[in-house]
Structures are given as C-alpha cells and as structure tokens.
Structure 1
C-alpha cells in the first residue's frame, strides 16, 4: 500500500492545526531550484533557515518533550524537517555554483572592458600646414602656416596616417562636415574645427597644403 503525498500533507496540516502551530513553519518547496536566480536562491535560503529548528514543534515552552504529541506525529514532523533540510542542502549547493558563475562573468566582463579600452593616440606632430589661402576653409578654421598637426578627426595620428593618405581619404568623405584637428602652434596644443568645402573661390576643398614631417 502506498501513501499519497496529498494524504501526508493533509495529515500534517491537521496535526499542525491541532497543535496550534503554523503549518507554514514547514513550507513545501514545489519549485525547480535550478531555475532561480542568485538573489532568489538567497531569499529561499534565508526563509528555510527560519524553519529548520526541528525541535521547535516537538518541545514544550520549558524545553521538555510535549506530552500531547504521539510518536506518529513526531515522525511526521521529522519527515517534513528532513525534506526541508535536503532542500536546504540543494539550495546551498546551487548558491555556491551560481556565485562561482557570477564571479566568473564579472571577471570576464572586466577583462573584456580592459581589452576594449582604446589606446590613447600619441600626440606627436606628423604633418605641417603650408600656404594657407586667404578666406579658404583652412583660413576660416584658424589654421596658420607652420601649424603642426598631431591628431586629425580624433583617430588619425603619427602611427596610422599612411603618408597622409588617411587624411586625404577622410577629407574626401567629409565634405561640408566639420573635422576636429589638434595642432601644435608655438609648442602649445590647440583644437580647431576644419570644414572641407568646394563653396569658396579658390582651389581644393581645404585651401592649404599639408606635408608630412
């Protein structure tokens, strides 16, 4: 003969009521612990810890065995507590596993962030401005003959300008769009905004020559 789980639960519920005890003191956890997140598992762990004192329901107020509980009832309560302890052990194991996974993800994210940190462009002059035409785009931006370019459009610098071909390509693709230019003038760094355009009376879209250093 098998005993249905529902019958056990009904018997337990009746027992707790007869003892004037809260049946929720020994809560059933009919859930898949594996599906819970780390914070959810932590909450379940705390809840279980408040229920795990096996002797609470079996002792009188002065600490002696209660004479109003028979052996069957004691066994029933202990079965519930044993199940609860098994669930508690499983929750602890899953918490440890998820904590390791969480720390692993944090470490991986930190490494990825470190990898993504862009390299600071070297502020070394690589080009020289020559022959700035009056009222040209270069003139209107504030460029002067003798200015030394150290950074063009935030990412073209001494290591990647490709004999100034990178500047030429960028200018061709940014007609009538502002380009930030970092220069050295009299050993002082300055930021200018250069807008290449055909809308002026001179030759080219800049109105100056730029030569490599």
Structure 2
C-alpha cells in the first residue's frame, strides 16, 4: 500500500486505497444494526480522544504547522500532529460509511413497519388489535423507528434558564433535539453545534419522563439564549447514555 506525500507540511500523511471499517476487512453493509452502533460509538470515542490530543498541543485540523517564514514550528511535534490529522480523516470517512448504513437500516425498518401495518389493517380484527407486533426497537410506532431510543439524560436544569422555561426537568431522557437523535449526536457534540446555530430559534425536543412506574413522552419547545443570566445557551447539563 502506497503512501501519498507532498511538499505541503500541513497535509496529513494518508494511506492510499479504500479504508476499511475499524482497520479490518469487514464490510459495513453486512454488519448488523447492533454491530454498526458499536462501531459508531468506537469511532466517536477515538475521534474524541484524537481531537483532545490536538487540543493539548494547541492546534486543530486547520492550524498552521509552519512559522511566518515557512519553517516547521519547533514548539510542537509536527510529525505527530500530521499523523493524528491523518487518523482523524480516516475515522471521519469510516464514521460517514457507518452512518450511511445505519440510516439505511432504520429507513428499511420503517418501511417494514409500514408494510406490517398495511397487512394487519387488511385482515379482520379478530384478536382485538390490528397493529404490528413490537419490533426490535421495543415499540411498533413508526416514530420510534425513526427516532430510536433516548441518547442523553438531563442531570441538572438551572432556574429561569431556557431549558427550565421549556419545561425540561432533571432526570428526563432525550430522544431528539431538532434533527439530532441517537444516530447522529456524536457524543453530544452535534447537540452543541445545533444549539449554537439556532440561538433565538425554537427547537422541538422530544423527552421521556419517568413518573413512578409510568413513562410519558413530551414535546418541549426549547429556545437557546445567551442572555438569560447564566452559563451556556440552554442552562442544563446533559450526559450521553
């Protein structure tokens, strides 16, 4: 396998040829949904760790690695940073492939649910129900098939914050915020990006709230703001599930 290099010191060294998931010969198209989810989590954890290394050097993917007169900087390990950048590029490609197959799997699952609903509705309702049996997401609702399970839990909510005004409470489990759900939250980094991009705009948040032994699903209207008198745009602390 060849190595591509050029005279640009900023360009990472990236191996040529197709990239395989997880450095193996496994075809993501043949992985189960569970395996794809595990691969997604593994890639996101590695991306987070590599990004932290770049941050510890005081650089990111676009930082200059040369001085003003085009000499390599001597305050950082240029070779290591180029290697890390190359790994991040490969992992981002792997993540994109995994996400593509995950989204296809969910789409196919939703279509199967629709077909099941159509089949059962055309049959005489002799057993008192015309709905499909619960599926492998634990519910036959098309909405669940799209959104999937919760991906984050609310640990705390500041008084008078945007999250508080929306009705969010500590202990709530979040299934979606706008377009972000269990598939694409990337360890909550995409939640932060979505919130920053929608300051002053209404985001619909779907949450599951436990009340004793009962679970209630709520649609909350969340408006990110930075002038509410506290830290952040939401005023709540979330952790990934």
What TM-score, normalized to structure 2? 0.38
Q: Which has the higher helix share?
A: 1
